[in-house]
Structure 1
Amino acid sequence: MTVKLGTELTWFKSSYSTDDGPACVEVATTADTVHVRDSKQIPGPHLTFSPHQWTAFLPYASGHR
């Protein structure tokens, strides 16, 4: 999936994360996509998922399968 150039993403991370945490991810959403990046590598690459893919992944990430 692609995001239109010039689209500003607003990134957030879990309220359970701390600013000095070693393993945080940040998430940004649009109507059609969910973007995930490493909070330590902000200028680096990010993964892009459809909302359906993200919803299917969350139970595995949270351990609530």
Structure 2
Amino acid sequence: MSITELAWFKSSYSGTEGDSCVEVALDWRKSTYSSGSGDDCIEIAPCPTAIHIRDSKDTTIPGFHVGPEAWHHFTGFAAEQA
């Protein structure tokens, strides 16, 4: 993966006074159920303390995140429904 494919954002601990800050990158992965025909799909960016989720059709709108335990329960439920 190239550096340009990562979604960089400034840490919420960054100040506005030019002080030291950290930028974080998310490695987004599209659902394997996604096709190129514009159907409904999600992208996720797993991190140790949160799973970030966004709409793959419009990545400019805000997504949301859940904890790893909630994601585990969700994916288990989704697998049972398939």
TM over 0.5: yes
Q: Which residue identity lines up with residue 20 of structure 1 in the other structure?
A: S
| Aligned residue number for residue 59 of structure 1 | 76
Richer in strand (by share): 2
For normalisation by structure 1, the TM-score amounts to: 0.78
Identity of aligned residues (%): 34
Q: Which residue identity lines up with residue 62 of structure 2 in the other structure?
A: P
Q: Which residue identity lines up with residue 73 of structure 2 in the other structure?
A: A
| Aligned residue number for residue 60 of structure 2 | 43
Higher relative contact order (CA 8 A, sep 6+): 1
Secondary structure of the residue aligned to 1:59 is helix
RMSD, matched Cα: 2.0
Q: Is the radius of gyration larger for structure 1 or structure 2?
A: 2
| Aligned residue number for residue 9 of structure 1 | 26
Which ranges of structure 1 fall in alignment gaps of 5 or more residues? none
Ranges of 4+ aligned residues in structure 1 off by more than 3 Å:
none
For normalisation by structure 2, the TM-score amounts to: 0.64
Take 1:56 and 1:15, find their aligned partners in 2: how far apart are those partners? 19
